[in-house]
Amino acid sequence: MSHSWGAAIRPRHALASVVVPGTVQSIERAAAILQVVAASGGTLGVTDIAESVGLAKTTTHSLLRTLLHVGYVEQDRTTGHYAVGAGILRLGSHLDVNELRARSSNWADALAARSGHAVRLATLAGEDEVVVVHHVFRPDDSVQVLEVGTALPARTTALGKVLLAHALGHRTPRAAAGTWAGELAEVRARGWAVDRGEHQPGRGCIAAPVRGPGGMVVAALGINGPVTSLFDGRGAPRGPLLGRVTDAASAVSRELGASGA
């Protein structure tokens, strides 16, 4: 690659000629930087990149730092050179559900073992349903059936509430308390959801969001069981259960490469 990158790079000050009124300047600049970084095959440092795109070194540096933060570029620790990051490679392909299961498996097992409840991981399928993509049995060796592939209603399950709360188009600002939009806003703000017998009488669930690279919520992870063993008399999650669910969801998010999870 390194012998040919020069030809692919726009001439100096190229950006001035491609800026179109009404576009966002920093995104255009970031895109130009990504093109240069990709074409260089990881052989350029900040000075060369700034020169290639015709920007001040400080501006280029702050754009590169942002790209580094979201995983779109990576920096070699010894040379300081920049290369295309794993985040950008993942852009074209959505997160495969089977990949999701493989990457979450250890954490889901640990959550079931520690909580004593069955664990399910689900993704959104349309507006009204979620699909179970991974299921770990309740660790009591009773007869249980693998629920992978089962569709569940989104509005009455904790898994569904987590996913709807973070789905695009559901980000209603300043929703009134006590309304459906208000409940989703609350789920979004506190980072977990519950259902107490809304889907099946006597059965409940506690769930938290799993985030992928870039911070998008890609799945919900939750435990389910009898309402009385999950919640106390006032309807709050019992003892350490909530922390175990949110910790496990964060661990899977880290595994998937979400930053700050």
3-state DSSP assignment of residue 181: helix
Task: Give the nearer residue to other proteins in terms of CB position, either 118 or 207.
Answer: 118
Of 81, 117, 135, 211, which one interacts with other proteins (CB under 8 A)? 135
- Window contacting other proteins (CB under 8 A); options: 143-151, 153-161, 173-181, 220-228: 143-151
Beta bridge partners of 121: 134, 221
DSSP structure string for 190-257: HT-EEEESSSSTTEEEEEEEEE-GGG-EEEEEEEEEEHHHHB-TTSPBPTTHHHHHHHHHHHHHHHHT
Provide the phi-psi class of 106: left if phi over 0, else alpha when psi is between -120 and 50, else beta: alpha
Tokens of 136: 């770990």
Q: Does residue 247 bind other proteins (CB under 8 A)?
A: no
Task: Give the nearer residue to other proteins in terms of CB position, either 85 or 164.
Answer: 85
Q: Does residue 259 bind other proteins (CB under 8 A)?
A: no
Burial of 137 (0-12, 13-18, 19+ CB in 10 A): middle
Of 62, 144, 228, 229, which one interacts with other proteins (CB under 8 A)? 144
Q: Does residue 146 bind other proteins (CB under 8 A)?
A: yes
Q: Does residue 141 bind other proteins (CB under 8 A)?
A: yes
Number of residues that bind other proteins (CB under 8 A): 25
CA distances from residue 178 to 26, 92, 172, 204, 232 in whole angstroms, order as listed: 40, 39, 14, 20, 21
Task: Give the nearer residue to other proteins in terms of CB position, either 141 or 234.
Answer: 141
User: Smallest gap, in angstroms, from Cβ of residue 163 to other proteins?
Assistant: 20
- Window contacting other proteins (CB under 8 A); options: 10-18, 139-147, 209-217, 221-229: 139-147
Q: How many Cβ atoms from other residues are within 10 Å of residue 135's Cβ?
A: 21
Site string for other proteins, 97-126 (x = CB under 8 A): xxx-xxx-xx--xx-xxx------------
Beta bridge partners of 209: 220
User: Smallest gap, in angstroms, from Cβ of residue 139 to other proteins?
Assistant: 4
Tokens of 5: 């990158």
Our measurement of the distance from residue 219's CA atom to the centroid of its chain's CA atoms, rounded to an integer in Å, reads: 8
Task: Give the nearer residue to other proteins in terms of CB position, either 118 or 130.
Answer: 118
User: What residues between 62 and 101 interact with other proteins by CB under 8 A?
Assistant: 93, 96-99, 101
Alpha-carbon distance 122 to 135, whole Å? Answer: 9
Which residues, including other chains, have CB under 8 Å from residue 6's CB and lie 6 or more apart? none
User: What residues between 221 and 240 interact with other proteins by CB under 8 A?
Assistant: none
Task: Give the nearer residue to other proteins in terms of CB position, either 29 or 135.
Answer: 135
User: Contact positions toward other proteins, by CB under 8 A?
Assistant: 93, 96-99, 101-103, 105-106, 109-110, 112-114, 134-137, 139-141, 144, 146, 148
